[in-house]
């Protein structure tokens, strides 16, 4: 996807309506073409210690800031026709819906994509905070939890993730009978390796090698407990996440 808008909200307290800043990065044809940042007068208008410690904002910062509808009037034309991208869309999408309801604004049911979900698909183990994922992708996020800095990192992560899964090559066996479903779900193509051609499926051969560190070749999996299999699975996932 080459056209999208990465967005990030910060809140003053635990109420989703208390948006106190927003950052936006607009990407078209795979390149950043616009950005926007604004402080926002939150509602309800109070800051709790936890949120302030995270985003560095306090009541004095937003006392004279515009309310959300005035800020959104500036954002809306910038994102017209674009899907939105956020890291943990459950938070940002719910903020947008909650504050829109509170101010009785029309909500256009924007399509939302989530880099947090994508990150968990690529790196199943470990932590998936935006700063950690940005570092894994080679992006230096210097000002984490500043709304514009987070939107920049999120946009970079989303563009990067589009290149992570080009194809899947696997065995030509019955265990992959649902390959059409997998291809559709991951928006990729599935290929089957030729017989006796391990070089065509390097990912599988590498995983097999990792498994054999725990279960040597020739052992019957029926003799391995489910508890041990889950332990091996966790260890392999963790090794991939580092």
Q: Which of 114, 140, 161 is the last residue of a domain?
A: 161
Q: Among 160, 165, 164, which residue's Cα sits nearest to residue 4?
A: 160
Domain interval for residue 95: 4-161
Is the pLDDT reported for residue 219 higher than 70? yes
Residues 6+ positions from 60 with CB-CB distance below 8 Å: none
pLDDT interval class at 238 (50, 70, 90): low
115 φ, ψ (degrees, to nearest 5)? -75, -20
Whether residues 143 and 44 share a domain: the answer is yes
Whether residues 147 and 95 share a domain: the answer is yes
Tokens of 115: 């880099």
Whether residues 130 and 53 share a domain: the answer is yes
Answer whether 27's CB lies under 8 Å from 33's CB. yes
The span from the CA of 130 to the CA of 237, in Å, is 19
Whether residues 83 and 138 share a domain: the answer is yes
CATH code where residue 116 lies: 3.30.420.10
Tokens of 224: 């391995």
Tokens of 14: 């635990």
Summary mean pLDDT of the chain: 87
Whether residues 44 and 129 share a domain: the answer is yes
Q: What is the pLDDT of residues 13-71, one digit of tens each?
A: 999 999 999 999 999 988 999 999 999 999 999 999 999 999 999 999 999 999 999 99
Whether residues 190 and 78 share a domain: the answer is no
Whether residues 55 and 148 share a domain: the answer is yes
Whether residues 114 and 64 share a domain: the answer is yes
Q: What is the pLDDT of residues 110-161, one digit of tens each?
A: 899 998 888 887 777 778 888 887 777 777 788 888 999 999 988 886 665 5
pTM listed for this prediction: 0.66
Q: Which of 161, 183, 218 is the last residue of a domain?
A: 161
Whether residues 82 and 13 share a domain: the answer is yes
Count of structural domains, the chain: 2
Please indicate whether residue 54 or residue 164 has the higher confidence score (pLDDT): 54
Whether residues 96 and 119 share a domain: the answer is yes
Whether residues 148 and 172 share a domain: the answer is no
Q: Which of 133, 161, 189 is the last residue of a domain?
A: 161
Angle of helix 202-212 versus helix 226-241 axis, rounded to 10 = 120
The span from the CA of 99 to the CA of 14, in Å, is 13
Q: According to the model, what pLDDT value does residue 199 have?
A: 76
Whether residues 15 and 103 share a domain: the answer is yes
């Amino acid at each position: 996807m080459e056209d999208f808008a990465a967005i990030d909200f910060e809140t003053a307290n635990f109420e989703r309506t208390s948006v106190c800043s927003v950052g936006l990065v607009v990407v078209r044809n795979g390149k950043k073409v616009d950005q926007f940042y604004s402080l926002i007068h939150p509602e309800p208008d109070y800051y709790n210690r936890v949120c302030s410690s995270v985003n560095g904002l306090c009541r004095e910062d937003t006392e004279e800031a515009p309310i959300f509808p005035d800020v959104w009037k500036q954002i809306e034309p910038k994102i017209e026709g674009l899907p939105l991208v956020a890291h943990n869309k459950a938070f940002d999408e719910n903020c947008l819906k909650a504050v829109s309801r509170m101010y009785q604004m029309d909500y256009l049911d924007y399509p939302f994509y989530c880099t947090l979900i994508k990150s968990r698909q690529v790196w199943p183990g470990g932590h998936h905070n935006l700063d950690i994922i940005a570092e894994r992708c080679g992006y230096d996020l210097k000002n984490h939890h500043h709304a514009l800095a987070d939107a920049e990192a999120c946009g970079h992560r989303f563009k990067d993730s589009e290149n992570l899964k080009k194809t899947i090559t696997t065995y030509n066996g019955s265990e992959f009978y649902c390959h059409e479903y997998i291809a559709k779900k991951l928006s990729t193509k599935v290929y089957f390796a030729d017989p006796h051609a391990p070089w065509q499926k390097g990912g599988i051969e590498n995983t097999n090698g990792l498994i054999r560190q725990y279960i040597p070749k020739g052992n019957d999996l029926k003799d391995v407990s489910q508890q041990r299999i889950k332990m091996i699975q966790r260890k392999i996932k963790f090794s991939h996440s580092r």
